[in-house]
Structure 1
Amino acid sequence: MDKGLTLDRVAIFRNGTPLVAFDRHIAPGEVVSVMGPSGIGKSTLLSVVTGTLPPAFTFTGRILLDGRDVTHTAPHRRMVGILFQDDLLFPHLSVGANLAFGLRPGGSPAERRDRIAKALVDVDLAGFENRDPGTLSGGQKARVALMRMLLADPCALLLDEAFSRLDTALRAQVRALVFARARDRALPVLMVTHDAEDAAAAGGDIVNLGM
């Protein structure tokens, strides 16, 4: 069984017109960056992997995750994590409650609290359980969003312009953290970005769509 994420001869069509063709295996811990002009289909490619392709699009090919064919699996059962340029934290929930949302069902309340506390320590936010997300800086929000996604124990990570709203210094810091955690957990990473520095920092192959 091939560990990692495989996009097997994936071809995407918009209203019947060919848009993107992508055929690639991404090994555990590897980052593949996808670049290209706006409208070329970069984010649409990620939606094929997550199972959330908009109705105007169709595709052929298969999505394999650790050897499992998830092409027609419901999105919430695919075990694919994704980070967007917006942190998408729930404003009405505390930081701890946001992280709890990422945990799978099961375990005692004490065990769940312990996992959340350890996750916050892992991103230098120890003791932030009761904080209001609205009081956090941009970098702190990005770290909470990352840990909420990782607490769901995904088998692959997708990045959709995940660092684009951060300033230059913060961007480098958060980017390094995300890549390090992905390597630590041996997650295959598929990243969509407009920024050549993001792709260079990833250290993996770069695929330019439309070229």
Structure 2
Amino acid sequence: MPEADTSKAGLQLEEINIKLAGHALIDLSLSVSPGEIVTIMGPSGSGKSSLLAYLCGFLAPDFRAGGRILLNGKDITSLPPEQRHLGILFQDPLLFPHLSVAGNLAFGLSADCKGRQKRAQTIAGALADINMDGFEARDPATLSGGQKARVALARVLLSEPKALLLDEPFSKLDADLRAQIRSHVFGRARQKGLPTLLVTHDEMDAEAAGGRIIRLDPCGL
């Protein structure tokens, strides 16, 4: 595989096209800089989630897709999902119910974080970062919606992604909590310099992201 071009920081989508049953859903080229948040908007069926699935490497076989995905100059198009270094947040936090909060966060730890003490310190630091100090032993079922969302974000960030994908992660939160979690997620993305793609149908999400907006036609671009 060719060496990465380190001059091309960020996430580049080159001529990404996605079809379903011969119908074009996505035809897109896009560059997202480190710390930039780009919003992709469109109603159900416009291909938003299919685009993220293609980027992550788990697009369903019913779809046909092509185009190149570059991350910091490296072509990741053909890599397996676990080697792409993309973090994704979904509508639901998807915390493991059989694991404690610490267990959930440990699942996201980078393989470079070795040793029980080091891992415990890293998890404690991640909880402090989301204002949840001392929550290591808590059962996820006892957490509020906002706490679950913050733990899900912390787990993604502990995996040290090089880009962040957001698949309507705020859609099931009430209005006040939604604004709080949006601010938290966007702030962390910018703080860590992560190129970020947000897909949503909500105009307030797009406004809060404060970046470019790309609107998808429900009948294809």
For normalisation by structure 2, the TM-score amounts to 0.94
Q: Which residue of 1 aligns with 2:38?
A: 32
Q: Which residue of 2 aligns with 1:155?
A: 162
Range 166-175 or range 1-10, more displaced:
1-10
Q: CA RMSD in A?
A: 0.8
Q: CA offset at residue 18 of structure 1?
A: 1.6
Task: Give the SS at the match of 1:87.
Answer: coil
1:204 equivalent in alignment to 2:211: yes
1:173 equivalent in alignment to 2:180: yes
Q: Which residue of 1 aligns with 2:87?
A: 81
1:7 paired residue among 4, 13, 20 = 13
1:126 equivalent in alignment to 2:138: no
AA at the equivalent of 2:60: P
In the alignment, the residues of structure 2 paired with residue 36 and residue 95 of structure 1 have an alpha-carbon distance, to the nearest angstrom, of 34
2:171 paired residue among 145, 164, 171 = 164
2:73 paired residue among 67, 74, 83 = 67
Q: Which residue of 2 aligns with 1:20?
A: 26
* CA offsets 1:17-52 (integer angstroms, 9 cap, x no match): 221111100000001101111101010011111011
AA at the equivalent of 1:141: K
Q: CA offset at residue 136 of structure 1?
A: 0.1
In the alignment, the residues of structure 2 paired with residue 105 and residue 182 of structure 1 have an alpha-carbon distance, to the nearest angstrom, of 21
1:42 paired residue among 21, 45, 48 = 48
Would you say how many aligned residue pairs link Structure 1 and Structure 2? 211
Range 100-109 or range 190-199, more displaced:
100-109
AA at the equivalent of 1:155: K
User: How many percent of aligned residue pairs carry the same amino acid?
Assistant: 55
1:183 paired residue among 183, 190, 198 = 190
Q: CA offset at residue 16 of structure 1?
A: 2.7
Q: CA offset at residue 83 of structure 1?
A: 0.3
Q: CA offset at residue 105 of structure 1?
A: 2.2
Gaps of 5+ in 2: 1-6
In the alignment, the residues of structure 2 paired with residue 4 and residue 58 of structure 1 have an alpha-carbon distance, to the nearest angstrom, of 25
AA at the equivalent of 1:47: A
Task: Give the SS at the match of 1:20.
Answer: strand
1:95 equivalent in alignment to 2:109: no
Q: CA offset at residue 146 of structure 1?
A: 0.3
In the alignment, the residues of structure 1 paired with residue 140 and residue 195 of structure 2 have an alpha-carbon distance, to the nearest angstrom, of 29
Q: Which residue of 1 aligns with 2:115?
A: 108
Q: CA offset at residue 194 of structure 1?
A: 0.9
